[in-house]
Every structure is written in C-alpha cells, then in structure tokens.
Amino acid sequence: MAYAMRPPQTGLMGDHLTIMTSVPNIAPLATMQSASDMAGESVVTPDGRRGVKKEDRIPQWGYHETKEFIAIRAELEKDFTQTKRNKTLWELISGKMKEKSYRRSADQCKCKWKNLVNRYKGKETSEPDNGRQCPFFEELHTIFVERAKNMDRLLLESEPGSRPKKKVKRGELKLSDEDTEEEEENKDDDEDERLQRRKKRKSDKERQRVTADKYRANSMQEVLEDFFQQQLKAEAMWRDILDSREMDRRLKEREWQKNMEFLEHDRIAREHAWREREDEWREREELRAEKQDEIFAQLFTKYAQRNASR
C-alpha cells in the first residue's frame, strides 16, 4: 500500500489542506509477461511482494525485432533441417541479432522461437479470422511450408530410382503391346541399374566399415602404445626415486654406524680410565692401611714396654 499526495485544497477558513490517500500498488505491465521473455533473480520488496531485480530484467521483444528474428531464422531453416545439434545455429542467430543492434542470447532466441511456434499452432487450429493470437502468422506459415517442401525433396532424393507420380488423365490412351514391351524392358533396365546401385552402395559401405575398423584399430593401438610408454616412464621415474631413497638410506646407515663406533670407543676409553683410577685408589688405600698398622704396632710395643718397666 502506497500513499499519494493530492493537490492542496482550500478549506472553509481559507487555509490549504493536504490530504493523504492510500493507493494500492499497481504492478507494471512488464512484470506480467511470460517467463520466456523474463529472466532474473526473484527479490522481496519492502511491502512483502516478490519481483525481479531491475538490472536483471530482460526487455520485451519488439515488433520489428521479432520480424528481424523471424527473417534470420528463415535464412537458416535449411541448416536446422539438416542437423540435430542446433546450439551453434542459435549462437549464430544471436550473433546476427547483435549485428542488427539487438542483444539477445542463444537461449533467449530459442525460447522466443518456441513461443512463436506455439502461437502459430494455436492460430492454425483456431478460427482463421482471429489474428490477434499470432501477428506473425504469414511469416511463420511461409517458413513451415518451405520446410515441408524441403522434406519432400529430401525424401525423393533419398530413394534411388524414384520418380514423381503423374496423375493420369481421363482421355489418355491405353498403351500398345510394343509400348508395354518397351516399358517392361525399361523396367528391367531400371531394376538392373537399381541392383547395381545397391551392390555399389553395399560395397561402399563395406569399404567404409573396413576402413573405419582399421582406423579404430590403429587408433586403439596408438592409445595402447601411448599408455604403455607412459607406464614405462612412470616405472622408470619410480625406480629412480627408489634408488635415490635407497642410496640416502645407506649413507645415513653408514653415518649412524660410524657414530656408534665412535661412541663405543669413547665408552671403552672412559671405562679403562675409570678402572685405572680405581686401581690407583685401591693401591693408595692399601698403603695407608699398612702404614696405619705399622703405627698401631709401634704404639702397642711402646705401651707394652712402658708397662713392663713399671
């Protein structure tokens, strides 16, 4: 709900009054167009309504733009009937539209064409005077009539020896015996030619199949050779990596052995020095004990002699 400002009105006392009236929001006509002509991100407006971002909204197709689009599509009708992958053709149509100053993507052109075809079908099945349903009926009708003619022409060209049927008039005379014999001979010749063509087509197909099989086998062999070469390269690379790692391991092991030998020699030297110090200490202890015993013996003899003299 939005509020609109009415023009100021003069009250009873001569002063101006401003009246606020509530006016419902009216969605623009562009927001009611079909999903094929719009593509944008859905957003929520402050009043709780859903809409499309203004910068993501795609403009409607104009009358002249649609006519240019139908003309470009008619130029490529033969290409559309001959191929099943139409993505490149729609991109080509988009490029031609850009050349005419109409910026339309391939998906937009494809969607627009579907809508036009649906409108054409609806107009074709409805009343012929109802021209409002498909304003481009004549252009589309010309395209589809030309498509039907092309399909008939392709069918006639695909069937060998086929001839267009002619309507027989009522006043046409019957054929004589000679004419029938000539016609039978011509038919036999046509049959022989048809058989030769079939044999030739079969031989061509067989030759193409053999060449395709050879090409497939050669390509498969090349793929296998490439695979084996890659395997050999990978194995050689891994072998080099393993050899380098083994060499590093051996170097580290030798260094570790040298360090252990050095530590062992150091331990033996320390133990030998400790034993030598231990032996020296024992010798000193023994000498001190002997001296102590001698001193005690001398003191004891002196004491004994003193007691004896008394």
Per residue in 243-257, pLDDT tens? Answer: 999 999 999 999 999
pLDDT given at position 169: 39
Residue 178 lies in a domain: no
How far, in Å, CA of 58 to CA of 111, rounded? 13
Alpha-carbon Rg for the chain, nearest whole angstrom, is: 55
Residue 207 lies in a domain: no
How far, in Å, CA of 187 to CA of 194, rounded? 10
Q: Where are the alpha helices (DSSP H) in the chain?
A: 63-75, 77-82, 87-99, 106-125, 137-158, 177-309
pLDDT given at position 251: 96
pLDDT given at position 279: 94
Residue 94 lies in a domain: yes
Domain span at residue 118 reads 63-158
Residue 163 lies in a domain: no
Residue 230 lies in a domain: no
* Residue 186 tokens, joined: 């011509």
Per residue in 162-191, pLDDT tens? Answer: 554 444 333 333 333 333 444 454 555 667
Split the chain (310 residues) into runs of 10 and give each run's mean pLDDT: 46 43 38 39 47 59 88 84 78 89 89 87 60 72 81 71 44 36 52 81 83 81 90 94 95 96 95 94 94 92 85
- The tally of domains found in the chain comes to 1
Exposure pattern of 246-284 as b/e (b: 16+ CB <10 Å)? eeeeeeeeeeeeeeeeeeeeeeeeeeeeeeeeeeeeeee
Residue 301 lies in a domain: no
pLDDT given at position 17: 43
Residue 237 lies in a domain: no
Domain containing residue 124: CATH number: 1.10.10.60
How far, in Å, CA of 228 to CA of 203, rounded? 37
Residue 269 lies in a domain: no
pLDDT given at position 275: 94
* Residue 276 tokens, joined: 């030598």
